[in-house]
Structure 1
Amino acid sequence: MVLQARQLFGFQSFGEIALIASWCIWTHRNFIIFDGASISLDRWKCSFTGMIGLVLLRAKPSLKYELDSWICNLTF
């Protein structure tokens, strides 16, 4: 299932994006459980795009261009 999703995604950076999305879900879950925050898709999206921005700072040029174009065209 994951391999099929990776093939359908079409970008080399599938693993990085999946890992960042999972991490943002995990940290948002922790805010909900431990800090009493409410569920917020907007807060998760902000965290996700912020983390992608941090990855862009250290990414190889080829991966940087791919991630940057993907995040610019991303709509939720």
Structure 2
Amino acid sequence: NLSVLEAYQDLKDKLNYHFFMEIIILGSWAIWISRNNKIFENITPSFQGWKFIFMEELKLLKYRMKKKYELQFTAWLEALL
């Protein structure tokens, strides 16, 4: 069994991007928004709903991305679409 720290390091190694932490944080944020949508808006959570929120947040992140990572980030983002 992997510890949380080992799982984190494994994910970091697999992603191999300078912006991997932003990916993790925005994925978690999308889960939080999905949870709030269920509680406050009575919207049933789904993977498609989570992915939509996640992708919208990633598109916004592009505007805050350092220029030296922008090309790599854009290519990664387009691969998800």
- TM interval, shorter chain, is 0.7 to 0.9
SS in 2 for 1:49: helix
The structure 2 residue matched to 1:57, chosen from 58, 63, 68, is 63
Q: How large is the RMSD of aligned CA atoms in angstroms?
A: 1.3
> In the TM superposition, what whole-angstrom CA distance separates every residue of 1:19-43 from its partner, at most 9, and x where no partner exists?
0010011111111122211122222
Alignment: residue pair count: 75
Shift of 1:2: 0.3
Identify unmatched segments of 5+ residues in structure 1.
none
Residue 25, structure 1, aligned to residue 26, structure 2 = no
Identify unmatched segments of 5+ residues in structure 2.
1-6
TM-score using structure 2 length: 0.82
TM-score using structure 1 length: 0.86
Q: Which runs of 4+ in 1 moved over 3 A?
A: none
The structure 2 residue matched to 1:44, chosen from 36, 39, 50, is 50
